[in-house]
Chain A
Amino acid sequence: MELRVDSLRVDRCRSLARSIADPVHGFIAAHSTVSVERAVLRLLGIDGVVGEEIPLANAVLERLDEGQRALGAARWIGAGVAETGHTPPDVAREVVEGRLALETLEMTPPEMARAVLRPLVVEALDRVRARRTERETALMRLPQGEPPLLYVIVASGNIYEDRVAAVAAAEAGAQIIAVIRSTGQSLLDYVPYGATTEGFGGTYATQENFRIMRAALDEVSERLGRYVMLTNYASGLCMPEIAAMAAIERLDMLLNDSMYGILFRDINMKRTFVDQHFSRMLNAAAGIVINTGEDNYLTTADAVEQAPAVLASQFINEEFAHRAGMPDAQIGLGDAYEIDPALTDGFLYQVAQAQLARQIFPHAPLKYMPPTKHMTGNIFKGHLMDAMFNLTSVMTGQTIHLCGMMTEAIHTPFLGDRALSLENARYVMNSARHFGDEIVVKPDGIIDRRARWVLEECERHLERVAERGLMAAIEAKAFADVSRAPEGGRGVEGVFAKAPAYWNPFEEALHPAEMAR
C-alpha cells in the first residue's frame, strides 16, 4: 500500500520542526537540572541510599549550594577523587557525611578534577557500550521475529509477581515486556531504591527491579530462542536518571517524551526539555529505542481532529531526538487507534494516519497504541476493536505494537487477558501478513483524501507553533487541548543556569562537537 505523499510539504514540515526546536535548544544548552546531575553521578557508580532511604545521588546534590551546583556535580566528585584517591561512590559518601568538605575541594584546580575523572567517564561509557554490544549479539543469536513486535504490560505493583506475569507473557508470544510504573512515580524527584513489592497501578522503576526483570527475561529468551525486550519509562522528574539506570541494566526501550510529562503530568516544561535532551544522549549511546507519547493526545481530545497535531508532534520529537544524536532507528514515534468506533469509515481514517506516519518516517520503529478511550465493560466488543487495531498495524507496517486488552477499561490485565490479547494479535497478523503489500489506495478516495488533509493541517499546525514558539504554543493549548505555562508545573526549582565553568563529562564525551562550539 502506498499513499501519494507530497514530499515538498514533508520537507517544509521538517524545516518548521527545526525552527521550532532552535530556540528551545538554546535554552537547553544553557541549563542543567538536578536530575541531569544525579544521572551523571549514577553513571559514575554513585548508587545506594543514605539515612532514611535518601538516594546517595540526591544527598550529594543537596549538599551543593546554588553556586556550587552551577558548576556541575562532576567537578566536585572529580576534585574529591583527585584529593583522596578514593572511588566516586566513596567520595560521594564522604561529601554527604561531611568528612570531605566542599570548601576544601574548591581549592582543587578544575583541570585536575577533570583529568582525574575523565578515565572513569570513559570506563562508565565503556560499560554502557558493553551492554549495548550484549544486546546486539543476543539479537543476532536469538532473533526476535518480525514486526509488528508484540508489546504487553505487567503492572502488579510487586516485581516478583510481575516477573511471573512477564515470563508467562513471553511464553504466550510477547516480544516486548513493559513494566508499568507506580502511578505516582513520575512526580517523585528521586528514584526509589531496591526491589519493591508495593505500588499503585504499577511497579516502581528501581535499578534493582530493572535487574530482576532483565535476568528473568534473559532466561526466558534463551529458553524460547528469541530475545525478549524490556522497556520502562524515562519520563517524569527523574527522566535522565532512569535513562542512566536503563543503560546500565540493558533495558531495550524507554518511553521518553517531554511533551507527555508537560501535558499529562504537569511537569515544568523547561525542566523536562533539559532532562529529555540528556536522557536522549544517553539512550543514543546505549542503543535504547525511545517511545514517544503522541498517542496520549488522542485520549483526552478528539482523535479525528487531533490527527494533525499528532503528526506535528512526531516531527518535533524527531527533530529533538536528532539533536541528541539519535538515529532514526531508535526513534519510536507514537500514535494510537483511538477514533470513536461508532464513526462511519473510522477504520479508513486509522489506516490513512498509520500509513502516512509509516511513509513519512520510513526508518523509525513506529509505536502503535491500542484503543483505550472507547473501551468499555463490553469486553466482547473490546476484543473486536483490538482485532481491527491489529489489522491496521500489520497492514501499515507498524513496528512496536502495544497489544490491546479487552479488559482495558476494567483492571490492570489478568494473566489470561494477556494471553487472549496476544492470541488475537498473532491470529490477525499471521492471517493478514502481506495484505498491505497487495492493496492499492484509490486515488482521491477516503483514505487518500484523509491522509492529504492530515498532512496539510499538520503543516498549518507547525506554522502556528513556530510563530508563537513551542512554549507559548503549549500554553495556548496547541497539543491535546491542555494548557501549561512555561514557569508552571512541577520541578521548576530543579532547573538552573550553567556557570561558564560548568562541566558535564558525559555530555562532553558524547557530544564533543557541540561542547566545542
Chain B
Amino acid sequence: MRLVRPYGDTIDDGAVQLSFTLPMPWSEAADEAARQLVGKMGFSDAAVVEGRSIASNFSLFVVYAHTPASVDVSQITVDAPAPHAMSLDEVDAFIRREFRRKLVVAGACIGTDAHTVGIDAIMNMKGCHGDYGLERYHELEAYNLGSQVSAEELVRFAQERRVDVLLASQVVTQKGSDVRTFTALAELVEAEGLRERVVLICGGPRVTNLLAQELGFDAGFGRGTLPSEVATFFVHRLREKLLYARA
C-alpha cells in the first residue's frame, strides 16, 4: 500500500489551489461564502487569497486549502493502448512482414464537429511534435476525410475502399454530443458487419481508452497522442483480428 496526497511544500500536507466564480456581487460576505463552500467540499484551512468582482453579478476567487484525502497508488491499474510505440520505419516493416500489402486507413472529424486539429495532427504528413503523420507512412494508404463527416459517410467510404482502420475524432464535447456521435458510429460499423475486420479507434481531448472500449471501440486516444502510437496500436490489433478470424 502506498498512500499519496497533494504536496505543497511538505510531504502529506495535502495543499491544493482552487479557483472558481460565484454568481454574486463581490463583498466580504462573498469571500466568506467561498471559504465555507471550500470547507463543504471537504477541505480544511481554506484561505481565500483573492476574491474580487469580475462583473456586476459575478465574483472570482482563488483559494488555498488542504485535503485529508489520499489514494492508494499501488491499487491503480490503467489500460494504456500503446505503451511502447514503434517508429515509422518499424511500423512499415511490421506491415510488410505481417500483411504483405498496404493497409488502408481513413480518418475524419465526425458528427457536426468542425475541429480537425486532432485528426490532422495524427494524419497529416507533418504529424505533430516531430512524429510524422500517417500520410507519411509508406505502407499506409491514408485518407483524411476532414470535418463534419457523418457516420454514414465514413462507413460508406470504409466499404468502398476496403478500409482496415477507421479513426474518428471529436473535439467538441458540449453536453455529451461526442459520446452520442461516437456511439452512433460504433453501432453503424457493427450493423454493417465491418466490426470483425476493421480496427475502430476514436480520439479527442476528452477521450480515454476506458471510455472508448465502453462505447465499442478498439481503443481511444486522448490529448498528446503521437501518430506512431496510434499506428503501433492498430497494426498489432489488426494482426490479432486477422489471426482470430483465421482460427
A211: interface (CB < 8 Å): no
With the chains together, A187 CA to B205 CA distance in Å?
Answer: 24
Q: Indicate if B183 sits at the interface (CB-CB under 8 A).
A: no
In the bound assembly, the distance between CA atoms of A373 and B177 in angstroms comes to 22
- In Å, the complex CA distance between A344 and B18 comes to 33
Instruction: Give the distance in Å from the alpha carbon of A376 to the alpha carbon of B205 in the complex.
Output: 9
Docked CA distance A317–B55 (Å): 38
In the assembled complex, B21 has its CB within 8 A of some CB on chain A = yes
A444→B64 CA distance, assembly (Å):
50
Write the B172-199 contact mask toward A (1 if CB under 8 angstroms, else 0): 1111010000000000000000000000
Bound complex: CA A186 to CA B113 (Å):
11
**Shortest distance between the CB of B107 and any CB in chain A (Å):** 13
Chain A interface: which of B91-99, B114-122, B209-217? B114-122
Asked if A416 and B114 make an inter-chain contact with CB atoms under 8 angstroms apart, the answer reads no
Residues of B within 8 A of A200 (CB): 112, 172, 174-175, 177
Question: Do the beta carbons of B116 and A416 come within 8 Å of each other?
Answer: no
> Which A residues, 322 to 378, have Cβ-Cβ distances below 8 Å to chain B?
372-373, 376-377
Q: Cβ of B21 and Cβ of A415 under 8 Å apart?
A: yes
A182, A376, A416: which contacts B54 (Cβ < 8 A)? A416
- A171 partner residues in chain B, CB cutoff 8 A: 54-56
Q: A residues within 8 A CB of B117?
A: 299-300, 372-373
- B146 close to A (CB within 8 Å): yes
Residue pair A301, B114 in contact (C-beta under 8 Å): no
Interface string of A38-55 (1 = CB under 8 A from B): 000000000000000000
| Docked complex Cα distance between A410 and B114 (Å) | 16
Chain A 461-481 interface residues, beta-carbon cutoff 8 Å to B = 481
Cβ-based interface call for B244 (8 A) = no
Q: Is there contact, CB below 8 Å, between B148 and A265?
A: yes
**CA–CA, A184 to B124, complex, Å?**
24
Main secondary structure of the interface of B (DSSP, over half): loop
- Interface flag for B19 (CB, 8 Å): yes
- Roughly how many angstroms separate A299 CA and B172 CA in the complex, as a whole number? 16
Question: Once the chains bind, are B21 and A184 in contact (CB under 8 Å)?
Answer: no
Interface centre among A169, A300, A410 (most CB of B within 10 A): A300
Please indicate the chain B residues that have their CB under 8 angstroms from the CB of A169 in the complex: 55
A183 in complex: contacting residue of B112, B125, B146, CB < 8 Å? B112
User: Please, how many residues of chain A have a CB less than 8 angstroms from a CB on the other chain?
Assistant: 35
Q: Give the chain B neighbours of A157 by CB distance below 8 A.
A: 174-175
User: Chain A at the B interface: mostly helix, strand, loop or mixed?
Assistant: loop
A-chain residues with CB within 8 Å of residue B56 when the two chains form the complex: 167-168, 171
Which residue of A is nearest B61, CB measured?
A416
**B174 near A412: Cβ-Cβ < 8 Å:** yes
A416 with B205: CB separation less than 8 A: no
Q: Does residue B60 face the partner (Cβ distance < 8 Å to A)?
A: yes
A409-434 interface code vs B (CB 8 A; 1 in, 0 out) = 11110111001100000000000000
A419 in contact with B147 given A264-B114, A300-B116, A373-B117 (CB within 8 Å): no
- Asked if B223 is at the interface (CB within 8 A of a chain A CB), the reply is yes
Given A300-B120, A412-B174, A419-B55, decide whether A266 and B20 contact each other with a Cβ distance below 8 A. no
A388 proximal to B (CB < 8 A): no
Contacts of A88-111 to chain B: CB distance below 8 A: none
Q: Which residue of B lies closest to A169 (CB)?
A: B55
Q: Which A residues lie within 8 Å of B241 (CB)?
A: none
Given known contacts A200-B172, A264-B114, A415-B21, A172 and B223 CB-to-CB distance under 8 angstroms = no
B58 located at the interface, meaning its Cβ lies under 8 Å from any Cβ of chain A in the complex: yes
B57 close to chain A: CB less than 8 A: yes
Residues on the B chain within 8 Å of A299, using CB: 117
**A residues less than 8 Å from B177 (CB atoms):** 200-201
Nearest chain-B residue to A201 (Cβ)? Answer: B172
Asked whether, in the complex, the Cβ of A419 is within 8 Å of the Cβ of B60, the reply is: yes
What are 9 A-B pairs with beta-carbon distances under 8 A? A183-B172, A201-B172, A264-B114, A299-B117, A409-B223, A412-B174, A416-B21, A416-B60, A419-B58
- Assuming A373-B117, A415-B21, what are 5 further A-B pairs, CB within 8 angstroms? A172-B55, A201-B177, A377-B223, A415-B55, A416-B21
Considering the complex of A and B, which 3 residue pairs feature the smallest CB-CB distances, nearest first?
Answer: A184-B112, A168-B55, A419-B54
